[in-house]
Structure 1
Amino acid sequence: MADRLAEHPTFSLASISKSADDDALVITREMSNRLHLNEGQFLSLLALNRTKLVTLKSIAREYRGDEATRASKVAELEAQFEQECSRILTPSQLSQLQHSNDHPAGSNEPGHGLG
């Protein structure tokens, strides 16, 4: 079995999952500090951020040779993310989130945008 797996190298789901968990926690804490989330909002956004990060990595891997499709898939994911955020956040919080996304503070890393 190990030989067969060695013939077909793949990514480690455990490492991607751990990385997504860690990154999602950092992002959600930053959102909580900016938006003053309640516990329910924090937990909902933590799950949403984790899903978004895992999906972003999947899109990047799957469409690495097709920039146009990758950009389209990322835009679609961002739209879904914003729609889900609108269900979780108050209108005021959503406005703050959108404003902070238009004027990011110091984050130049791709894939860590919040909307």
Structure 2
Amino acid sequence: MLKAIFTSLTLLFALSSFSAHAQMADRLSEHPTFNSGAKHKKGGDDAVAMTREMTNRLHLNEGQFLNLLPLNRTKLVGLKSINREYRNDGATRAAKIAELEAQYEQECSRILTPSQLSQLQSEQPGSTPTGSGNGLG
């Protein structure tokens, strides 16, 4: 009985430690100046620039910025990976990019207000805002 309790406590402590480490890594990745590895990653710089530009266009608050930053990093890494992996297959590449964009838009809908999301959709090349019609009727 004592051995089972000790094992359970050890497992709980280990899981807590891993969770705390992962949270700290996420927090540090949001601040490239504190993460020496992130300084050298062009994708991280691109994601910060992209999120800052979105902040200016969509008038994001700080919480939205912090939630969109890792999402934008993931999107950019995904685009780079798709473009590299499917560079010789345009149809598959387009389908994979469309899938990535749909996932990105779904995640954005959890972070942005409906008006911010509508503005983002209307500014994306080749996309149409949700809803039909031209807004005149």
Same fold? TM cut 0.5: yes
How many residues were matched structurally? 89
Pairwise CA RMSD of aligned residues?
A: 1.9
Please say if 1:26 is aligned against 2:49.
Answer: yes
1:101 maps to which residue? Answer: 124
Please say if 1:45 is aligned against 2:68.
Answer: yes
Deviation per CA, 1:38-87: give whole Å up to 9, x if none: 11100111111100000111111111111111111000000001101000
Give ranges in structure 1 of 5+ residues lacking alignment. 1-13, 104-115
The alpha carbon displacement at 1:102 in A equals: 4.7
Distance, in Å, in 2 between the alignment partners of 1:101 and 1:60 is 19
TM-score (norm 2): 0.61
TM-score (norm 1): 0.72
- Matched residue SS, 1:65: coil
Q: Which amino acid aligns with 2:90?
A: E
The structure having more radius of gyration, on CA atoms, is 2
1:84 maps to which residue? Answer: 107
* Runs of at least 4 residues off by over 6 Å: none
Provide the identity percentage.
73
Give ranges in structure 2 of 5+ residues lacking alignment. 1-36, 127-137
